[in-house]
Amino acid sequence: MIKLNNIIKYRKIAGIEVNFNSENEITYYVVIVNIEKGRFIPEPIKEEIRNLKQLKELLPDTIPVCLTITGKGVIIKDYADNDENESIIKKILPFARENEFSVNTVQQEEKNSWVAIIRNEQLSNTITSFLDAGYTILDVFAGPLNIDIINTITDNSVSTYCTSGYEINFTGISIESIKKYEGEDHSYLISEEEINGKYLPALASSIKHLSVYDYTTTSKTEEVICSANDYKANIAIKIFAKSGVALLFLLLIINFLAYSNYNKKVNDINQEVFHNRSLLNKEKKLKKELAQKKQLLTKTGLDTKSMLAYYADQIAASKPKKMVFDEMLINPVEINKYKKNLVIQKNTILITGNSRSSLEINNWVSKLNNMEFVESAELFDLKYSGNKKITEFILELTVKD
Domain extent listing, the chain: 12-220, 233-300, 308-399
Q: d(Cα 401, Cα 398) in Å, to the nearest integer?
A: 9
- Partners of 391 in beta bridges: 355, 384
Architecture, CATH, for domain 308-399: 2-Layer Sandwich (3.30)
The arithmetic mean of pLDDT across residues 250-268, rounded, is 88
The arithmetic mean of pLDDT across residues 150-154, rounded, is 73
Per-residue model confidence (pLDDT) at position 173: 77
Distance, first Cα to last Cα, the chain: 120
Per-residue model confidence (pLDDT) at position 190: 81
pLDDT digits (tens, 9 = 90+) for 331-376: 888 766 665 666 778 889 999 999 988 899 999 999 999 999 999 9
Q: What percent of the chain has pLDDT over 70?
A: 82
Per-residue model confidence (pLDDT) at position 6: 46
Q: d(Cα 108, Cα 167) in Å, to the nearest integer?
A: 18
Question: For residue 28, which of 75, 90, 64, 71 has the smallest C-alpha distance?
Answer: 71
Per-residue model confidence (pLDDT) at position 23: 72
Question: CA 392: distance to chain centroid?
Answer: 89
User: What is the 8-class DSSP label of residue 211?
Assistant: B
User: What is the 8-class DSSP label of residue 2?
Assistant: P
How many other C-beta atoms lie within 10 A of the C-beta of residue 279? 10
Same fold, 12-220 and 308-399: no
Q: What is the C-alpha R_g of the chain?
A: 58
51 pLDDT higher than 90? yes
Q: d(Cα 195, Cα 181) in Å, to the nearest integer?
A: 18
The pTM of this model reads 0.57
CATH class of 12-220: alpha beta
- Helical residues (DSSP H) of 301-354, grouped into ranges: 308-318
The arithmetic mean of pLDDT across residues 190-206, rounded, is 88
